Amino acid sequence: MTTKPQPCEDTLKAGDVMSIDPAAVSAETTVSAAMRMMLERRVSGLPVTDAHGALLGIVTEGDFLHRGELGTEKRRPRWIGLLTSPGKLAGEYTGAHALRVGEIMTTDLHTATPDTPLTDVVRAMEKYRVKRLPVIADNRLVGIVSRADLMRAFLTRLPDTMAATTSDTALRERIAAEIDRQAWGPSALVHVSVNRGVATLNGVLVDERMRVALRVLAENICGAGKVRDRLTTIEPMTGAVVSSADD
């Protein structure tokens, strides 16, 4: 499985980060062969396609949890079994004993296209609680976006440290402007100074989470390890004062 190179545009799309030519199986692939492929490729799910590359379903590790061979087949008390529909019981039996992928694959699929914004991809993963989204173009599977692909994209998009090439004044102005942009940004309560590329944050806050967020914000501009936290937090209910470890 290969990954497409990352573009320089600010708005990433599924096609920019997806793994192309993902390993796939057919509906007739045996369950044991699919398991073996997943272990060999170190993936937790496989798309199921037909001879023309059209997506039929997806099979994941979760489909192998309740197998008769493992002794993990679902066992229900008899009285619960009497209250469960025969169709549901039959489906559970198939999942525990099926020999072919097509009989256990998930067919209620959520997909993306190469032009789907990455924000929509992540939103779909969270909403449907899935670890990957197949990417479809012209009714064919062209790639897949997994959580691992998102991590790879993150690593290629890490902000460069600007302190070595940007003046202290420019860095201070950029940090202050970024604080102003945030709905939670306490710009009136925080003073930012920069000396030799190292930013110092001074001020008084009423929420410890703001302290963490401000440090993260500044580190994204100056670089990790180049921010001094001199902020003080006052707990509004008790009046307790918490100073930074940098003081």
Clarify whether residues 99 and 60 are in a common domain. yes
Token pair 């090439």 is at which residue? 165
Clarify whether residues 227 and 105 are in a common domain. no
Clarify whether residues 188 and 99 are in a common domain. no
Number of helices and strands in the chain (H, E): 8, 10
Clarify whether residues 29 and 136 are in a common domain. yes
Cα 124 to chain centroid distance, Å, stands at: 10
Clarify whether residues 150 and 175 are in a common domain. no
Clarify whether residues 85 and 145 are in a common domain. yes
127 part of a folded domain:
yes
pLDDT at 39: 96
Full residue range of the structural domain in which residue 18 is found: 2-156
163 part of a folded domain:
no
pLDDT at 6: 45
Clarify whether residues 102 and 15 are in a common domain. yes
Question: Which of 132, 156, 180 is a domain's end point?
Answer: 156
Question: Which of 120, 136, 156 is a domain's end point?
Answer: 156
Clarify whether residues 232 and 112 are in a common domain. no
pLDDT at 135: 97
162 part of a folded domain:
no
Q: Are 112 and 136 in contact (CB under 8 A)?
A: yes
Q: Are 190 and 202 in contact (CB under 8 A)?
A: yes
Rounded CA gap, 132 and 130, in Å? 6
Candidates 132, 108, 96, 140; CA nearest to 14 is 132
Clarify whether residues 224 and 150 are in a common domain. no
Residue 133 sits in a domain whose CATH number is: 3.10.580.10
Question: Which of 126, 156, 186 is a domain's end point?
Answer: 156
Number of domains composing the chain: 2
124 part of a folded domain:
yes
Clarify whether residues 143 and 235 are in a common domain. no
Clarify whether residues 200 and 223 are in a common domain. yes
Clarify whether residues 76 and 122 are in a common domain. yes
Local confidence pLDDT in tens for the 247 residues of the chain: 555 544 444 689 999 999 998 999 999 999 999 999 999 999 999 999 999 999 999 999 999 998 888 888 887 777 676 677 878 778 888 888 999 999 999 999 999 999 999 999 999 999 999 999 999 999 999 999 999 999 988 887 766 555 456 789 999 999 999 999 999 988 889 999 999 989 999 999 988 899 999 999 999 888 878 999 999 988 777 767 777 656 5
Token pair 């969270």 is at which residue? 126
55 part of a folded domain:
yes
108 part of a folded domain:
yes
Residue 194 sits in a domain whose CATH number is: 3.30.1340.30
pLDDT at 81: 63
Q: Is 2 helix (H, G, I), strand (E, B) or coil?
A: strand
175 part of a folded domain:
yes
Give the chain's largest Cα–Cα span: 75
Rounded CA gap, 180 and 220, in Å? 15
pLDDT at 242: 72
Residue 92: half-sphere exposure toward Cβ, Cα within 13 Å: 13
